[in-house]
Structure 1
Amino acid sequence: MGVTRDFFIAMSKNQLLNSGAKKWGLKLGASKMVAGTDIDSMMKSVKELNSMKISATIDNLGEFVYSREEATAAKEDIINTIEAIQEHGVDAHMSIKLTQIGLDIDYDFSLENIREIAAAAEKYDIFINLDMEDYAHLQQTLDILTALRKDYPNVGTVIQAYLYRSEKDLERLDDVRLRLVKGAYKEIPDVSLQSKQDIDENFLKLIKIRLLGKAFTSIATHDHNIINEVKKFVEENNIPHDRFEFQMLYGFRTEMQKELAAEGYAFTTYVPYGKDWYAYFMRRLAERPQNINLALRSMVSK
């Protein structure tokens, strides 16, 4: 399992394969996990989710951005997606990776870009989530979040349970809307928990801290054991359902997504789209062996 995970994470960082993937389109099974390559196809998926009382957080996919031209184009694509959310009247918000809009090029440049995006979103009261990337980008992401929130309260971020520092970050961000996740990158033992049991235990600990706090929390997991623990904790502590939501990825455990929404829990699906789907797809394959089977079935059925 560890070897398989490392293999697909390494593949996700291969720029040559990423370039080739843009030519393939959503073949290799990615169509099960990515909601199309353009706004129109993505919006059809979002409207279908909304019809089941499921909200969406939309990710206009893009990585390996090392030029200002690419970053500026990505910023414009994201703003166009925000405009489309408003025009189509869908229940959705945006998830954004700062490296896509220039963080690896220049900190101030990326801050300018995300400010433009946040301003566009605030105009329509649309929430913006800064996706958390690998550990090397963590502090810069939190610094940008702090700078942004001085002018734009409609911005939050992600806390990854496998990092040792996450509980302290949680305390510092106790008034910020957050998404809690286990973590999807490979990090060294110096900065992160390594065993599934330790990560699961810390994930539940962080969730409970947040649920007893005051800010809205998104609990992003496909783990039914974690979900059941959360449901029990919420009931025992009389926590209102409008204080939190469950989140899952597009294309995963779709029946459970529908069931949780039907049970009256706030639910949001993470909806990725765009031509730059390759790295995202590889990380999903790295996370669980079952995802490889899902992709293979998709390829055979075409």
Structure 2
Amino acid sequence: MDASDLLRNTLLQLSKSGQVRSAIEKAPVSRSVVRRFVPGDATRDAVAAVAELRATNRLATIDYLGEDTTDLTQAIRTRDHYLELLKALADADLSQHGMGEVSLKLSALGQYLPGDGHKIALDHAREICQAAANAGTTVTLDMEDHTTTDATLESLRELRQDFPWVGAVIQSYLRRSEADCRDLAHEGSRVRLCKGAYKEPESVAHQSSADVDQNYVRCLKILMAGDGYPMVASHDPRLIEIAGALAAHHERDASSFEYQMLYGIRPEEQKRIADRGDQVRVYIPYGEQWYGYLMRRMAERPANTMFFLRGLASRN
């Protein structure tokens, strides 16, 4: 295990530490830096971030933070946040043609509730999809740890019966992902390919960064050769270059795929890619449950940790 893999595993462990979370949340300097990566807690903060991106020809996908909900009231509250967000985006003229879309975690919508959890989460997702359709935009189902992959893909199939534009997420650290990409690389299918940011056993997931990257490229080749709409979620310059080369090889128009990056990470590179005529969508998280998200994003790519630490240093 090299140093980057050790850092990744450490950060994934810290993402579950209540003690570390408390220390970071109580430190004014770190909380102010978090604002660079999570624009705020309220709907208005997310909408303002989308408006800022629009001014520089960037698209957005918005995630109301939260997961692993085991309380029905909280699941309903999460659904209502999304309904409020979609209305606010439409009212601000920021949703048409998918300019500002939303990303959903089914576990935040009640997937883990006892008994009818799957149905409850699916019903909530269906309501959100209808609100998105009314606003002229789209929805992407976020992928979580490997234990939920089959259930998420099943929900995707059900939602696409009424909303064929619902997007999926595939994580290249999972050994199954090449096969999933083949299944999803069909006309009308929107697929976000990312590396993955959960602590997974070796039996189901590649453990080294090099193996994850190699699988990312294998998956990317399948998606770019297919008839769907690939969404290349990476900050890695090598993978971005490979994606561009594959798109050119398959004679893809700039409107037939997009790059995706995280809010606050490499914003100048985001603008550069958008300025050259390619589509760039920025993943905007908002809400109070930002700690786990931030730690996993740092684990996903060690360079993200340096962005955060440099931010702390500049504030100090």
Please give the TM-score of this superposition, normalised by the length of structure 2. 0.89
Structure 1 residue 198: deviation in Å? Answer: 2.2
Structure 1 residue 154: deviation in Å? Answer: 2.9
Report which stretch shifted further, 208-217 or 4-13.
4-13
Structure 1 SS opposite 2:35 = helix
Structure 1: how far apart are the matches of 2:71 and 2:17? Answer: 17
Structure 2 SS opposite 1:155 = coil
The equivalent residue for 2:39 is: 35
Structure 2: how far apart are the matches of 1:140 and 1:118? Answer: 18
Spell out the pairing of 1:252-263 with structure 2 (5 A cutoff): 252-263=265-276
Structure 2: how far apart are the matches of 1:152 and 1:295? Answer: 37
Structure 1 residue 100: deviation in Å? Answer: 0.7
Letter paired with 1:104 = Y
The equivalent residue for 2:176 is: 165
Q: Pick from 64, 78, 83: which aligns with 2:87?
A: 83
Query: Per the alignment, do residues 81 and 21 of structure 1 end up closer, same or farther by CA in structure 2, a change over 3 Å counting?
Result: farther
Spell out the pairing of 1:261-272 with structure 2 (5 A cutoff): 261-272=274-285
Spell out the pairing of 1:88-237 with structure 2 (5 A cutoff): 88-90=92-94, 91-105=99-113, 106-175=117-186, 176-237=189-250
- Structure 1: 4+ residue segments shifted above 6 A: 19-26
The equivalent residue for 1:290 is: 303
Query: Per the alignment, do residues 19 and 156 of structure 1 end up closer, same or farther by CA in structure 2, a change over 3 Å counting?
Result: farther
The equivalent residue for 2:15 is: 12
Instruction: List alignment gaps of at least 5 residues for structure 2.
Output: none
Query: Per the alignment, do residues 225 and 290 of structure 1 end up closer, same or farther by CA in structure 2, a change over 3 Å counting?
Result: closer
Letter paired with 2:45 = S
Structure 1 residue 5: deviation in Å? Answer: 2.0
Spell out the pairing of 1:55-74 with structure 2 (5 A cutoff): 55-74=59-78
Query: Per the alignment, do residues 239 and 288 of structure 1 end up closer, same or farther by CA in structure 2, a change over 3 Å counting?
Result: closer
Number of equivalences: 302
Report which stretch shifted further, 164-173 or 76-85.
164-173
Cα root mean square deviation, aligned: 2.1
Deviations 1:6-53 (A, max 9, x none): 222122224576688777787063112112111222222211111111
Structure 2: how far apart are the matches of 1:296 and 1:197? Answer: 24
Structure 1: how far apart are the matches of 2:49 and 2:32? Answer: 20
Structure 1: how far apart are the matches of 2:110 and 2:18? Answer: 17
Query: Per the alignment, do residues 11 and 74 of structure 1 end up closer, same or farther by CA in structure 2, a change over 3 Å counting?
Result: same
**Would the aligned equivalents of 2:21 and 2:291 in 1 still touch at CA under 8 Å?**
yes
Structure 1: how far apart are the matches of 2:26 and 2:247? Answer: 46
Structure 1 residue 208: deviation in Å? Answer: 1.8
Structure 1 residue 274: deviation in Å? Answer: 1.1
Structure 2 SS opposite 1:32 = coil
**Would the aligned equivalents of 1:149 and 1:155 in 2 still touch at CA under 8 Å?**
yes
**Would the aligned equivalents of 1:222 and 1:253 in 2 still touch at CA under 8 Å?**
yes
Deviations 1:275-296 (A, max 9, x none): 1111101112223343333323
The equivalent residue for 1:49 is: 53
Structure 2: how far apart are the matches of 1:147 and 1:266? Answer: 28
Structure with bigger RCO (C-alpha 8 Å, 6+ apart): 1
Structure 2: how far apart are the matches of 1:119 and 1:21? Answer: 38
Structure 1: how far apart are the matches of 2:19 and 2:125? Answer: 28
Report which stretch shifted further, 133-142 or 174-183.
174-183
**Would the aligned equivalents of 1:74 and 1:101 in 2 still touch at CA under 8 Å?**
yes
